[in-house]
Amino acid sequence: MGQPPINSTGEARTIPVIEARGVDHYYEGQGGWNHALSNLNLTIPHEEFLCIVGPSGCGKSTFLKIVMGLLKPMRGQVLLEGKPIEGPGTDRGVVFQEPALFAWRTVIENVEFGLQMQKVPKAEARRRAQEVLDVVGLGHVTDLYPYQLSGGMRARVAVARAWALRSANLLLMDEPFAAIDAINRMALQDYLVDTWMKDRRTVIYITHDIDEAVYLGDRILLMRPSPGRIGRFFEVNAPRPRDRSSAEFAELKGLITEEMHRFSSENTSIQEDAA
Ligand SMILES: Nc1ncnc2c1ncn2[C@@H]1O[C@H](COP(=O)(O)OP(=O)(O)OP(=O)(O)O)[C@@H](O)[C@H]1O
């Protein structure tokens, strides 16, 4: 066991980054209320890379929107570093499937944007942006515009932009590489692992790809649908970078896939699983 993470003032960080307590959320639809999240209880410690997987519609994005501060749950609450989430903030970095880059800004200017918003001095912002772009392998294309990049390169710029924000101790990623072909996606996952190893932050990463979850996560939350709720947690203890061809990797992948199929096909009886 390592030492507990230490914050900038030298104190042990005992308050979790995220603590969700009894979170329920419903959406109003044509046929009545849709129970998107039911009694979600979840604690995410500092520096954890948590992947969330689960059948379509099990509430993954709803949970992430609550953590982003875009949605208020109807019941329960989510605490960020011990405080209720009141709205979006620069303490959270966000990466979506469609990287929303500014077309009129170069790669490095895109990465600098958030830093400029935070009034980081120009030279410092440039240095920081260059440093993160180097880690994601884009240090040589800093002056290109988004239209000159491949989809995979744009995804890397989006990751770099979120990572460059030092104020963001928590990174929220909703299928950031889903639109990328399998080979390039693996390369992107390696860049993400390198970035995370260099500068460990807490990450909540939503994916449909179980291989990706096992490759990236410290812990995997498999959610259950109808209503969306905690299904089962899986710990991934293998050191990084992980060997996708190992027996352990295949075994865990198989186990999660099997469980996910079971959850997808089961009836919709409400059964709360303990975390
Ligand atoms: N704005 C909305 N209005 C009405 N219903 C919604 C809204 N957003 C989500 N839902 C419904 O809530 C449930 C959970 O949706 P959510 O997007 O959180 O699931 P998900 O697990 O992220 O799904 P996917 O894997 O398909 O992205 C689904 O049944 C969805 O149809």
**3-state helix/strand/coil string of 115-170:** HHHCCCCHHHHHHHHHHHHHHCCCCCCCCCCHHHCCHHHHHHHHHHHHHHCCCCCE
Say yes or no to pLDDT of 182 above 90.
no
pLDDT higher than threshold 50 for residue 269: no
**ipTM surpasses 0.95:** yes
Q: How far is the CA of 211 from the centre of ligand 1 (A)?
A: 23
Position 260 confidence tier, pLDDT thresholds 50, 70, 90? very high
Mutate to test the pocket of ligand 1, among 25, 26, 27, 210 (most ligand atoms within 8 A of CB): 27
How far does the centroid of ligand 1 lie from the alpha carbon of residue 64, in Å?
A: 11
Q: Locate 37 and state its tokens.
A: 């999240």
Q: Output the average pLDDT for the chain.
A: 89
Q: Is the peptide bond before 227 cis (omega within 30 degrees of 0)?
A: yes
The reply to whether ligand 1 has any atom less than 6 angstroms from the CB of 57 is yes
Ligand 1 center–CA 95 separation, angstroms: 18
For ligand 1, atom 23, name the residue with the nearest CA. 57
Q: What is the dihedral of CA 235, 200, 106, 139, to 10 degrees?
A: -100
CA 228, chain centre distance (Å): 18
| Burial class (CB within 10 angstroms; exposed 0-12, middle 13-18, buried 19+) of 182 | exposed
Distance CA 43, CA 173 (A): 17
In the chain, the domains with their CATH numbers are 20-91+203-266 (3.40.50.300)
Using DSSP's 3-state secondary structure scheme, residue 139 falls into coil
Cβ atoms of 215 and 188 closer than 8 Å: no
Protein residue whose Cα sits closest to atom 29 of ligand 1: 57
For residues 262, 35, 27 and 172, what is the CA-based torsion angle, rounded to 10 degrees? -60
pLDDT tens digits, one per residue of 114-162:
899 888 999 999 999 999 899 888 999 999 999 999 988 999 999 899 8
From the alpha carbon of 62, which atom of ligand 1 is closest? Answer: 18
Question: Does residue 6 register a pLDDT over 80?
Answer: no
Q: Amino acid letter at 185?
A: R
Amino acid 272: pLDDT: 44
Beta bridge partners of residue 66, listed in sequence order: none
Task: Report CA(103)–ligand 1 centroid distance (Å).
Answer: 29
Q: Would the pLDDT of 98 be above 90?
A: no
Q: What residues form DSSP beta bridges with 172?
A: 94, 204
pTM of model > 0.90: no
CA of 36 to the centre of ligand 1 (A): 7
* Mean pLDDT to the nearest integer, 22-48: 93
Nearest residue CA, atom 31 of ligand 1?
A: 57
